[in-house]
Amino acid sequence: MNSPWKGKAKATNQDYDDLRPTITYRHILSNNLGVRDPLRVVALCDSDAFYAACERVRLELDPNVPIVVQQWESIIAVSYPAREFGISRMDKIKDAKKKCPNLLAVHVATYKEGESEPSYWKDVDTRTHKVSLDLYRRESNKIITMFKEALPIGEVEKASIDEAFIDFTRPVREKLLERYPYLVQVPADAPNGMDSPLPPPPPIKWDDLGTVLLPEGTDSAGEQSNIDVDGGTTWHDVALSIAAELMRKIREDIHSKLGYTTSAGIARNKFLAKLCASYKKPNSQTILRNQAIPSYLHPLPFQKIRFLGGKLGDALAKEYDVSTVGDLLTISLDEIQSKFGENALWIYELLRGIDRTEVKEKSALFKSMLASKNLPKPITQPLDGHQWIRVLAAELALRLNDARESMPTLWPKTIVLHARKGYETSRSKQATFPFVRNVTVDVIATAADKLWKELTGDSKTVNITSVQLAFTGLEKAEMGQKSIEGFFATRDIQRTFLKRSREEDEPLVSLENTDLAVPKSSDIEAVSFQCTRCRKTIALREGQATGGPSEVAQRLATLRSEHGDFHFAQDLANSNKGSVPVPRGSSLKRQKVEPKGIAKFFIKK
């Protein structure tokens, strides 16, 4: 290929002309500059050897014990003491044990047929067990909660099971104004009022704040451990150092309260924070000052950078015959856009350490919850499906009930069962999920069993290699929020009133009309009641009004609650209008559009 960019010309300083922006009173006193804030500070905090640490904490082991987490025959997490023996995720268990005879290998918890809770069984077999990641999810939530509690005005975005981005910009600004109160007031003699530059920043003591990456030519190691040696301190550096203090404190608290060590990267945006978070692990943090961005980025092989690996990275490497970030800097924006489309501005900026993506908490409301199992031995008899359905139902029950601890009104609209036969595409069946108060394994398994029967039909034999069970349309019940919350909270009281014999799977009753759900004493012997909402008289059917007064009262109570369900369901459906799925064959259905420009590099085939 004959490309004019083949020669690896040097990048120029102009590529980074925003590294030392002038910071004015307007900047420091504004509260909503968003991603263009020149004092923006973002961190990425990642837990060290996370699954291994969760097991170590659960087992109350000494942190120096070499431990790995095993899933069947593979290793999925390696503690740092085990890494000292040269053990990595690539090793098989038996090879790892050869490297370290004292190695403790903990098999990840599994769901076992017939059990409603995951546990650590003696003999695990992929043919009869299913992996449970519930412990890690719960521990991960505890860590995220600590970030949020420590930083009520910072934004926290969970990035994976053991990583989160934290936007320190606002907490840092608060601290800056507190520590340097002379910044709060624009001096009377400031030449441009609010737009006057801030006075020179104070020197920074970087001691104990972590590893500070240095600009090129400052020191051979590229790290800085002491007082401002280069004299080029900016207010952004002060902001970074305050974020580093806050981050260090949170990491120490996580360690002392939960027992986990973490590593963090602190820089001016998400991309750079992530890039330097693993600079030194474990239990450490790295600070990337703006001035050090070029020397840190230039030598990196760009295909190692997330987003620039894969097909896009291959295409860039092929097109320009280059390998490092520095090499790519000589390519003009016009050129890159002509090859990769308008959106390639994003690559152009990323290579220069610019990333304008926000740190934003993803909706705490996950829309779906899925449990799946690839079957080492295919199901051939339709009846054998039930055992797996129960295992998947147990996982969904646990996860939904966990999620309901923080969102008591979380409700799945639909239950979906997928099954794949060999390499064929999967088939699925779905149904509205019943309104039951307690979502138990039985409730889920019963609903899923019906779907399984529909899916397998009259077939005498099947060949199913993978089953998935999912809740979709998970939403917080929005309407009559108070009454629904009240419903969940007053469960025991209601039970006493209704004296119903059905235990776990009572239908959901709306307390919006309290007298619908709670019989008045005068009603007890009646055989009908008038609904206060629809004004209809609802009566027991013939034959149901017979028996002792308490039996009749009980039937009437059931009828009331069923009628309450009807209104609840109707209200819920109305409150969710707008998010209803587009019916099959509808003209509203999305057209398949061929991706253009940069998007085609991110298509999963």
Q: How many residues bind ligand DCP (CB under 6 A)?
A: 12
Does residue 313 contact residue 324 with C-beta atoms inside 8 Å?
A: no
If binding is defined by CB under 5 A, does position 139 make contact with Ca ion? no
In whole angstroms, give the CA distance from residue 52 to residue 106.
Answer: 8
In whole angstroms, give the CA distance from residue 173 to residue 178.
Answer: 9
Residue labelled with tokens 């609903």: 447
Residues 129-188 interacting with ligand DCP (rule: CB under 6 A): 161-162
- C-beta of 283 vs 409, nearer to Ca ion: 283
If binding is defined by CB under 6 A, does position 91 make contact with ligand DCP? no
Reported residue count of the chain is 605
What's the Rg (C-alpha) of the chain?
30
- C-beta of 45 vs 436, nearer to ligand DCP: 45
Does residue 505 contact residue 436 with C-beta atoms inside 8 Å?
A: yes
Contact string (CB under 5 A) for Ca ion, positions 422-461, x = contact? ----------------------------------------
Taking the complex as a whole, the smallest distance from the CB of residue 166 to Ca ion amounts, in Å, to 15
Among 23, 24, 41, 46, indicate the residue that binds Ca ion (CB under 5 A): 46
In whole angstroms, give the CA distance from residue 314 to residue 310.
Answer: 6
Taking the complex as a whole, the smallest distance from the CB of residue 50 to Ca ion amounts, in Å, to 5
User: Helices (H) and strands (E) in the chain — how many of each?
Assistant: 19, 18
Taking the complex as a whole, the smallest distance from the CB of residue 90 to ligand DCP amounts, in Å, to 10
Query: What 3-state DSSP class applies to 134?
Result: helix
∠440-443-446 over CA atoms, to 5°?
A: 145
Order of strands across the sheet that contains 211-213: 155-160, 163-167, 42-47, 262-267, 285-288, 211-213, 223-224
Q: How many residues bind Ca ion (CB under 5 A)?
A: 4
- C-beta of 93 vs 190, nearer to ligand DCP: 93
Beta bridge partners of 264: 45, 285
Taking the complex as a whole, the smallest distance from the CB of residue 134 to ligand DCP amounts, in Å, to 14
- C-beta of 241 vs 284, nearer to ligand DCP: 284
In whole angstroms, give the CA distance from residue 443 to residue 465.
Answer: 25
Beta bridge partners of 166: 43, 156
Query: What 3-state DSSP class applies to 76?
Result: strand
In whole angstroms, give the CA distance from residue 587 to residue 594.
Answer: 19
Among 76, 431, 531, 569, indicate the residue that binds ligand DCP (CB under 6 A): 76
- C-beta of 46 vs 395, nearer to ligand DCP: 46
Residues 14-53 interacting with ligand DCP (rule: CB under 6 A): 46-51
Contact string (CB under 5 A) for Ca ion, positions 49-78, x = contact? -x----------------------------
Residues 280-299 interacting with ligand DCP (rule: CB under 6 A): 281-282
- C-beta of 278 vs 303, nearer to ligand DCP: 278
Burial class (CB in 10 A: 0-12, 13-18, 19+), 36: exposed
Taking the complex as a whole, the smallest distance from the CB of residue 261 to ligand DCP amounts, in Å, to 9
| Residues at the site binding Ca ion, with contacts judged by CB under 5 A | 46-47, 50, 162
| Residues at the site binding ligand DCP, with contacts judged by CB under 6 A | 46-51, 76-77, 161-162, 281-282
